[in-house]
Amino acid sequence: MAGRPAIFFDRDGTINLDRGFTVRVEDLAFADHAVAALKLALERGFFPIVVTNQSGVARGYYSLDDVRRFHAHMIRALDRQGVRIDENQFYVCPHHPEEGKGEYLLDCSCRKPKPGLLLEAKRAHDLELSKSYMVGDRMTDVETAWNAGCRGAVLLSPNKSNVSLGTGPAPSFVAKDLLEAVQYIVRDFQGEIDD
């Protein structure tokens, strides 16, 4: 039996505002239309997964427990707004290949753009990556999607004309915010977008 479709969401700069190593609960602020986007994803049958590189753990700025506390706070804040996700839908890479300390100094398979977090989520939640999408605010998120075999990758850029795509793989779509990204995904998944 085929697995279910997912939308993999980057965290900082995608769901919440990126304040630079965002980990204090008082710094949580959702990006414009992020809650509406997550609601739409759930309503349309997508399984939301948050995948985040947290090199602040590797660098010793904060702990994995601090990250878990922030995620628990985010889950409660989303729940109050009608978005039901749980801690098992959050995947974190705490490593850094050059600047990590101790056990976190590691060239791992889970740090985006490597696909390890998506592959781990696929196994845990019976996901079909060829029906799934990745949304993020960096080209590494786009690369992660293609490295994992996702159907599509959406890059967030408030000023769409300001995107520097470089020479790597291109996004399927560039969206001004998370809601526009999910709206695109819904249309693409339903086959309403011509190639």
Decide if pLDDT at 162 tops 60: no
Could you tell me if residue 76 is inside a domain?
yes
Establish if 180 belongs to a structural domain.
Answer: yes
pLDDT tens per residue across span 140-149: 999 999 999 9
Between the two ends of the chain, the Cα-to-Cα distance in Å is: 28
Q: Which two tokens stand for residue 64?
A: 């994995």
Q: Look up 65 and say whether it is catalytic.
A: no
The pLDDT of residue 158 is 75
Distance between alpha carbon 20 and the CA centroid of its chain, in Å?
16
CATH code of 93's domain: 3.40.50.1000
Instruction: Quote the tokens at residue 73.
Output: 């706070």
Query: Which contacts qualify for 76-79: CB closer than 8 Å, 24 or more apart?
Result: 77/28, 77/30, 78/35, 78/38
Count the neighbouring beta carbons within 10 Å of the beta carbon of residue 54. 25
Query: Does 109 reside within a domain?
Result: yes
Q: What is the pLDDT at residue 166? A: 53
Is residue 18 assigned to a domain? yes
CA distance linking residue 123 with residue 38, whole number of Å: 22
Q: Is residue 195 part of a domain?
A: no
Q: Does residue 54 form part of some domain?
A: yes
**How many structural domains does the chain have?**
1
User: DSSP letter at 4?
Assistant: B
Q: Whole-angstrom Cα distance, residue 122 to residue 128?
A: 7
> Is residue 10 annotated as a catalytic residue, yes or no?
yes
> What's this model's pTM, rounded to 2 decimal places?
0.93
Peptide bond before residue 113 is cis, with ω within 30 degrees of 0: yes
> Is 155 in contact with 141 (CB distance < 8 Å)?
yes
In a domain, 20, yes or no: yes
Q: What is the mean pLDDT of the chain?
A: 93
What is d(CA 127, CA 6) in angstroms, rounded to the nearest whole number? 7
Domain hosting residue 53, numbered range: 6-128+139-189
Tell me the C-alpha to C-alpha distance, in Å, between residue 98 and each of 42, 104, 143: 37, 10, 20
CA 38 to chain centre: 12
In a domain, 133, yes or no: no
Q: How far apart are CA 159 and CA 71, in angstroms?
A: 29
Residue 20: count of CB within 10 angstroms of its CB? 7
Helices and strands in the chain: count of H runs, count of E runs: 6, 6
- pLDDT band (50, 70, 90) for residue 165: low
Q: pLDDT value at position 17?
A: 96
pLDDT tens-digit series, residues 41-73? 999 999 999 999 999 999 999 999 999 999 999
